[in-house]
Amino acid sequence: MNNLVKKKYSTMKNKLILLIFGFSSLFLVQNIFAQQEPEITAKDLGHHEFKHAINACPGGIAFGIFSVNYEHLFNSYHGLMGRVDYEAIPKSYTDADIESNGVAVIVNYRYHFSGELKSIFLGSYLRFRTYTGSGRLESTEFDFTIPELTLGLNLGKRWVWDSGFNITFALGYGFSEDWREANPTSNLIKANVDQFTEQYDFFDPFLGEFSLGYAF
């Protein structure tokens, strides 16, 4: 095993250790709060018990990002959100005239502190995303794929009105790894794919949400 592989393995190992520590801390804090205070649910507060929410991100359309998500609330406090993103990427990041798009699937566990959807939440997320594209350099046509996996933690809040209209805002950050491949490959092609990745998605472990939708 060469030094480069050893270094990459060590980096991934350290990230996984930190991530596991973060998840453990999250559930430890959750259990401490649960033991110290009685559970107060939406029903106890006299609120409508919304258990489902379907949301979309209208602001992302201006950037070519189409995002839809659905959350189901279990046992008042525990939510599971699934989200699908599609990214139509402009051809303005390299000299290779790259045409590309991205698709992502996200699963996000959320702990709702108020015992209802209308709440501040803390969670963990897993995102699988892949970019596919093609380009041309020095009369050579090529295509590429960039599969990527991200694990992280996020914090957010959902506002819900009696009509079911809701707004959700959340920010998250984690650890990300990708496995990019180009065909055919060369140092110049690799450099352009790297440039595309760095300029378009320079903050890749980040996960954000500002969405509008309907709760029921």
DSSP characters over 59-75 = GGGGGTEEEEEEEEEET
Q: Does 17 map to a domain?
A: no
Q: Does 16 map to a domain?
A: no
Name the nearest CA neighbour of 151 among 6, 57, 22, 30.
Answer: 22
Is this structure's pTM higher than 0.75? yes
Q: What is the mean pLDDT of residues 128-134?
A: 93
Q: Does 89 map to a domain?
A: yes
In the chain, what is the straight-line distance between the N-terminal and C-terminal CA atoms, in Å? 55
Least confident of 39-48, 65-74, 145-154, 199-208: 39-48
Highest mean pLDDT among 19-23, 44-48, 119-123, 192-196: 119-123
What is the model's pLDDT at position 204?
77
Q: Does 27 map to a domain?
A: no
Q: CA Rg, the chain, in Å?
A: 21
Q: Does 20 map to a domain?
A: no
Q: Does 30 map to a domain?
A: no
As given in the structure block, the two tokens for residue 141 are: 């046509």
Q: Does 170 map to a domain?
A: yes
What is the model's pLDDT at position 5?
44
For 85-116, the pLDDT digits (tens) are: 999 887 766 777 788 899 999 999 999 999 99
Tell me the C-alpha distance between 197 and 180, whole Å: 9
What is the model's pLDDT at position 86?
97
> At 23, is the pLDDT very low, low, confident or very high (cuts 50, 70, 90)?
low
Is the Cβ–Cβ distance between 112 and 77 less than 8 Å?
A: yes
Tell me the C-alpha distance between 37 and 35, whole Å: 6
**Structural domain range at position 55:** 38-215
Return the CATH number at 138.
2.40.160
Q: Does 137 map to a domain?
A: yes
DSSP state of 37: S
Tell me the C-alpha distance between 6 and 210, whole Å: 39
What's the structural domain count of the chain?
1
